[in-house]
Amino acid sequence: MPKIDEKINRQQDMAQEAFEKLERLKAWIREKGKIAIACSGGVDSAFLLKAACDALQGEESHGGTDNADAAENKVLAITADSRVFPGRERSESIEFCKSLNCRQILFRFDEMAVPGFADNPPDRCYICKTALFTRMKAIAAENGMEVLAEGSNMDDLGDYRPGLRAIEELHIASPLREAGLTKAEIRFLSRELGLPTWQKPSFACLASRFVYGETITEDKLAMVEQGEQLLFSLGFHQFRVRIHGTLARIELLPEELDRLLTPKLRTEIAEKFRSFGFSYVTLDLQGYRTGSMNEGLRV
């Protein structure tokens, strides 16, 4: 019994700390008065957008049309319609913004036109984020928003993330990090707030599936997206399709490896991957892990 009590007490303490961080986050947002959020529709940006709406629109979104309009103008979601994010992510972000009654601006962003992006150097993310957030800052300013915020959290500080340098250089706000929120706390709070994204798998930019130095092409991006959409449709929870030339390296959660290896499913996946353009289809025995393409940088 003492051990069970200790576990319950730890969970209660963790929950209390998470809610305290949420209140710090809301206080930070209220201090800004108005805010634009770079919203991909993922776990972190969706949570940040919800916190912003609660902090700035909570009371004013009720009590008449004038108040609702004033509240709507305090929070703006900005979303890139981009080739390196699956179409379903864009659709989910649109539905999520509608559910919050939050104004959203969707704009077309072509990474392939950004000089140096397709060459895929180790600082590719810095190159891309610099161009992307420069464009988003302009859109925010055009709509009367002095503050543009993005959704990186404390866990993002633990890996090679050159995109964070672009965020700092462009003075993009990172309120989740300001509040000290971790990914686990964001998922917990998202669940408590009733957000559909609380257990959504993490889906980073499709360019992160390429080994550094391998040229990124639209055809190969399509191969990766088709492969991951297939795994998604088959019910796999968290995965990556890493591309090496025309070889696919599939990463799955360790507990899902056996399922893929059942003869019928293994054959179906191999055949469909070949129809997408892959010559070889492999399964990574280490399983899913974030930033596996960065492992080569540490060799």
Tokens at residue 62, please? 């009720």
The reply to whether the predicted model has a pTM over 0.85 is yes
For residue 16, what are the CA distances in angstroms to 10, 178, 190, 193? 10, 18, 14, 14
Residue 189, C-beta contacts closer than 8 angstroms, at least 6 positions apart: 18, 19, 22, 47, 181
Mean pLDDT, the chain, rounded, equals: 90
- Cα–Cα nearest to 141, from 34, 228, 278, 215: 34
Tokens at residue 157, please? 């500080």
Digit-coded pLDDT (tens) for 10-38: 677 789 999 999 999 999 999 999 999 99
Position 279 pLDDT exceeds 90: yes
Digit-coded pLDDT (tens) for 57-101: 864 443 344 444 545 689 999 999 999 988 888 899 999 999 999
List, in sequence order, every beta strand (DSSP E) within 159-246. 239-244
Cβ–Cβ under 8 Å, residues 186 and 15: no
Digit-coded pLDDT (tens) for 226-253: 999 999 999 999 999 999 999 999 999 9
**Which domains occur in the chain, in start order?**
2-192 (3.40.50.620), 206-298 (3.30.70)
Digit-coded pLDDT (tens) for 106-124: 999 999 999 999 999 999 9
2: exposed, middle or buried (Cβ count in 10 Å: 0-12, 13-18, 19+): exposed
Strand partners, 247: 244, 280
Residue 289 CA to residue 299 CA, distance in Å, equals 17
